[in-house]
Structure 1
Amino acid sequence: MTTTHPRRRRAALTAAILSAALVLTACGSSDDSSDTSGDKTAGKTAETRTVKAGNGDIKVPTAPQRVVTIGNTDLPFIDMGGKPVGVTGVAESDLSLLPEGQQATFKKATNLGDEVDLEKVASLKPDVILVQIPDAEFKKIEKQLETIAPTVFWGLDTEWKSLAEGIAQAGNVQAALDRQKADYDGRIAKIKQTYADVIKNTKFVNLDRYANSDPGTFVIADIGCVEIAQDDIGLNFPKAAAGADPLAYTSLPFEQLTKLSKYNVITYPADAKGQPTEVFAPVVKTNTWKALSTVKSGHALGVFCPGNNSYGAVLRYLASLDTALATLPAKQ
């Protein structure tokens, strides 16, 4: 996944505020649709459940038929088999990492753009709206969204597993989430068992670059998919001290690649074919990189991370990590 800014799960989204008259029109449009929605679901939308979210305890239809996703809820909902009627902007570089079926689902939905067009949201007559964007941006449109449909919001600091649980409950895709969680738990257990010695004896370091990084710089990344390798598998990667900014926020010049010799294994971002990503490629082309003993010994491992905010994407990351770890000797 190409990262455009070294901020944790930051949504590339700015909400547009419409006039009061437009909001009232949108609200009326939503109300007119309620009977039609009820006809299609044979009264199922009359049944509700309560979902705990960042904006409180929200009552939503038990079986929503028309779901709008905004911000970081787009791809996790689709990942769990959801078929949103409206989605917000996703970078083509991120969209291309999805399985073909998920790409098709995304493209079939009405694209609400990088700016949330509330009139367009209302015209879709949603049963529920799922949102994860910066808190300040949500506050600007919270009341307007709530006049259109029950709105469930999570802040950017929501842990990805908790976000998946909330989306599954609100979007009625719990069965798919349960299957993904079982697959995830099984994959984690297998990796921990298979590579127990590697986990115990190996010092790793994870590198990355951002699309907006200054030329000639890289970062030691301790956010993103590597957090799963650290926290759930137990791989020994460096990370920031408690309360400090992540290491990934500090750009380092290529000259500092020489300091990586103290680590046994380097991981870096690769595409689905195992090649360095376009953004990271300048690092591997340097003579400093090529001279590293870790690189010469084949212990620089490209790992594919299509995303770290849904189980399906993380499972693909774990499969790539598993393949990379298999190339290492049991002891470093």
Structure 2
Amino acid sequence: MSNTPLIRRGAALAAVLMSASLVLTACGGDGDDTGGKAAATRGDKAAETHSVKAENGTIEVPVDPRRIVTIGNTNLPFIDLGGEPVGVTEVSDSDLDVLPAEQRTAYEAAEIVGSSGGEVDLEKLATLKPDLILVQFSSDDWDKVGKRLEAIAPTVSWGLDTEWKAFADAIAQAGNVADALSQQKAEFKEKVTTIQETYGKIINGTSFVDVSRGDWSDPGTFYIADIGCSEIARDDIGLDLPEAAEGKDPLAYESLPFERIGELSRYDVITYPVDAEGRPAEPFKPVAGTNTWKALPAVSSGRALGVFCPGNNSYGPVNQYLDSLGSALATLPGKQ
């Protein structure tokens, strides 16, 4: 973001600055024009381009983009990597509520250019004069606005099925925020290794199930989560968690009635969603309030673990999830 212009300090100060400027100009011919060279270097770098492969082809983008607009699912991952977009599309209040303060500030400083990927105000976006547009939304939305976005600035688009680690890599490359990504990756690797080494015996000999409920769920229903943060627990940490058969819809797509809560008794450990303070997430409270839930062996024996998942499409929130998972595993009776 650009800096706020300095307030004028009066004619006397202006005169002093003018005199100083003349002195510096007179002396400049005898020494290196460091400031000019630095400005030229910055200008040259901003003008350079490199190729980025994306869903919409191989795109030439600036090496050092300065005015980036993020659309759809690229908003928060780019900001998570330290990016400061000039334009964004709307994100939910629940997503904003779990952002670190500096990231929320970066989001709120940007101009809102639409409610969603397919509802972008193209005229407003164009007035921001972006030198790069980052996009992740549905193919239908791309059909609506994709070509018009490309006419405004180099546009890099990824499909909704892009794996989250590859997505982070691609955003870092296109948006020139690779240094932050490297640090986050190192933290991720360290956290995964620590959990595996500390709780390896429990992980290897225990059956887990991750259950959840969203604010979109029908009354009296819950679901078994096999996508989102539970994928991290299963695929990276190695927890024995149920998942859909190959080629089938995720288990999370099936709403289960509260009458089936008792079926969770087959699992040794249950994980469920909590907020940043460790309280059951608001949509999950109806599940936690049922007598059937309270009677589950895992619940009554201290093996129901609340885990905070602020997001799963970039390393920052995933690392927060891993911290919460590690703390939860530490409370298990008989932990290693």
User: If the TM-score is normalised by the length of the shorter chain, which range does it land in?
Assistant: 0.7 to 0.9
Cα distance between partner residues in 1 of 2:67 and 2:133: 9
From the superposition, tell whether residues 41 and 121 of structure 1 become closer, same or farther in structure 2 (CA, over 3 Å). Answer: farther
Q: Is the 8 A contact 1:58 1:152 kept in 2?
A: yes
2:220 corresponding residue in structure 1: 216
Q: Is the 8 A contact 1:202 1:331 kept in 2?
A: no
Per-residue CA distance 1:25-58 (angstroms, 9 max, x = gap)? xxxxxxxxxxxxx989423221111111111111
Per-residue CA distance 1:219-264 (angstroms, 9 max, x = gap)? 0110100000000111000001000010001111111111111100
Cα distance between partner residues in 1 of 2:282 and 2:333: 29
1:292 is aligned to 2:296: yes
Cα distance between partner residues in 2 of 1:128 and 1:108: 18
The structure with the largest alpha-carbon Rg is 2
Cα distance between partner residues in 2 of 1:212 and 1:331: 35
Cα distance between partner residues in 2 of 1:257 and 1:251: 12
Matches within 5 A, 1:151-190: 151-190=155-194
2:83 corresponding residue in structure 1: 82
Cα distance between partner residues in 2 of 1:112 and 1:98: 20
Consecutive aligned runs of 4 or more in structure 1 exceeding 6 Å deviation = none
Per-residue deviation at 1:95? 0.6
Per-residue deviation at 1:331? 6.5
Cα distance between partner residues in 1 of 2:130 and 2:159: 21
Matched residue SS, 1:242: coil
The code of the aligned residue for 2:92 comes to: A
Matches within 5 A, 1:136-285: 136-285=140-289
Cα distance between partner residues in 1 of 2:232 and 2:298: 23
Per-residue deviation at 1:330? 4.5
RMSD of aligned residue pairs (Cα, Å):
1.4
1:17 corresponding residue in structure 2: none
1:44 is aligned to 2:45: yes
Per-residue deviation at 1:329? 3.5
Cα distance between partner residues in 1 of 2:277 and 2:41: 44
Structure showing greater relative contact order (alpha-carbon pairs closer than 8 Å, 6 or more residues apart):
1
1:94 is aligned to 2:113: no
The code of the aligned residue for 1:298 comes to: G
Per-residue CA distance 1:120-167 (angstroms, 9 max, x = gap)? 110100010000000111121111111110000000000011111110
Cα distance between partner residues in 2 of 1:291 and 1:326: 23
Q: Is the 8 A contact 2:203 2:239 kept in 1?
A: yes
1:110 corresponding residue in structure 2: 111
1:129 is aligned to 2:133: yes
Cα distance between partner residues in 2 of 1:39 and 1:214: 59
Count of matched residue pairs: 295
Percent of residue pairs bearing the same amino acid type: 61
Q: Is the 8 A contact 1:225 1:305 kept in 2?
A: yes
Which segments of 5 or more consecutive residues in structure 2 lack a partner in the other structure? 1-38
From the superposition, tell whether residues 130 and 54 of structure 1 become closer, same or farther in structure 2 (CA, over 3 Å). Answer: same
2:324 corresponding residue in structure 1: 320
2:15 corresponding residue in structure 1: none
1:63 corresponding residue in structure 2: 64
Per-residue deviation at 1:218? 0.3
1:30 corresponding residue in structure 2: none
Q: TM-score, normalised by structure 2?
A: 0.86
Q: Is the 8 A contact 1:53 1:152 kept in 2?
A: yes
Greater helix proportion: 2
Q: Is the 8 A contact 1:211 1:279 kept in 2?
A: yes
The code of the aligned residue for 2:309 comes to: C
Cα distance between partner residues in 2 of 1:330 and 1:308: 29
Cα distance between partner residues in 2 of 1:206 and 1:220: 6
Per-residue deviation at 1:112? 1.4
Q: Is the 8 A contact 1:201 1:331 kept in 2?
A: no
Matched residue SS, 1:280: helix
2:26 corresponding residue in structure 1: none
Q: Is the 8 A contact 1:41 1:65 kept in 2?
A: no
